[in-house]
Structure 1
Amino acid sequence: MLTFLSNSRTLCKDYQKTHEQETAARQALRALLANRYGRSLDQEIRGSEGGYLLQWYQLHKISLHKAAIAMLFSESHRIQTMPDLTGWSVVFYMRPCFVHGDDINPSTAFFVHEMRLQYTPIFQRMIARDTGSPSMEFDQAMRVRQETFAEANITTPLITVVPIQLVYDEYSITHTVPVFAPSHGAEVALAARMQDPNPSNYLRRWIPTLKAMVLRGHMLGPLFGKDDEDVNLCVGRMIKQGPIPTWVPLTDEEANGAGYIKFPGVVGPVVPRSSRGAS
């Protein structure tokens, strides 16, 4: 009992410290927004804060989507209806980063505090919100996605779609992530990963890798590639080349030094060597 109470006090202190840090970071962000916008109305400041969150999401969208797919495959044993994901969603809980100086860098304004695959009954509502349809079943959502990709000349088979949600204070961003069959190049990369004694490790490493990428201001790109892109994605950063920031890839030396795996955009299930060839 004494040990439990001692641990509880430690946890409470840790939680309080974390909460204080998060509060201070958000106050610093909002103070900078207030100075930038002439201490305008609180509602306008909050709107600007939400705008930066949306910018952050657009920059890190591919990375977040790949992380959601990695979590899906890593915890697929929990989903008895796979690939039907009715009721399932991946939720990212966001926090603000401390702003240094007078400039807000959208690529490093927030970080991923926690990420969960959870079962909720609101899947259809999230799909409906994302597609603009008042009501949509999972199969119908799949058909809509397939039609959209066909119009974009994307012929890669669509396995499923997984809803994601970014939660930051009173803000929420929802989207659905398409999960495609791997390309030939991706199959080769996945086969190479099967040589690892524990090939599924890379799926579990994706979450801490995502958190590290975000804190460094790194993200997968090119940012405006095709939805089914995998093997050609790489880690990069935003740099200012004139008035508009541009995404540029890291050098091989930089990527290796940061600990990023080869072909980071390739995310899919892997089978241990002992399971291959089994009937």
Structure 2
Amino acid sequence: MSWCYKYLTFLMLAIALLPLSAIAGASQDATTSDVSTIQNLSCAGSAPKVRPKTQNTTGWQERPDFGKYFQQAGVEGTFLLYDLKQKQYLVYNPQRANTSIIPVSTFKIFNSLVALETGVIQDENEVIKSDGTPQKFPNWNQDQTMRSAIAGSVIWFYQELARRIGQERMQRYINLANYGNQDISGGIDQFWLKGDLRISPKQQIDLLVKLYQNKLPFSQKTMATVKEILINEKTNDYILRGKTGWGWDFTPQVGWYVGYLERGDRVYFFALNMDINKPEDTKARMAITKDILRSMGLLGAGSRE
């Protein structure tokens, strides 16, 4: 018997045993709420869908003007920016910014931290050889280091790291860091790709802030190494760190770009999440982010991809 049928059986039995006076005195609101609860339960063997959690949005400023960059790219999504000094969030599509979504390759940030901390890989330059299995992209068919694998988002490399780490140690660090919903079921080398791990754009930023401030449960050396391999661009004016993600096993497909921009004494954290309907849409992840940062005067002219 499923959890749902057990719950309904218990609920109906409890109502049947109530004194008539209690039933007669029950408020209409309570009755309506109970009926609504029963009607909204699914007894098809799965739990009700989890809605976005209520978040404290004090200090959040909606920026509908950011939406034009999504519209120009022909995609739907959300963009959340956090100004650390001002402690202010700027957001387009706040509901989606608080919705938990599978992290796909953005999890490589955390996977790198755990792998280095546990010593399953010596450092960011140790080579792991390809086993010769044909891969989705040509550059994935080569031997890889952590540095090259995070830059090329090489899945097999990080699956190997996760297998070396193991379920128990991975879960321990996930819990210590309070990563997303902390659910790594679905296979030690699949949970962030097709399994049950979920994280919201807001939680992505929370994690990145802790990484920047060296407040994650890892050594200073480990965090410094991961920060260094996350650099996407470095100029005299700013340093841009980030990691993309592409979940092609979903409909619509999932697109991510998360990271942070250091400019002088200011740090801006960002998380973009969007739908991908065709491979060409993947370019919009970084392009939209850079367009928004550029519109705010935070990023210089240059490549949009």
Shared topology, TM-score over 0.5? no
Per the normalisation by structure 2, the TM-score is: 0.25
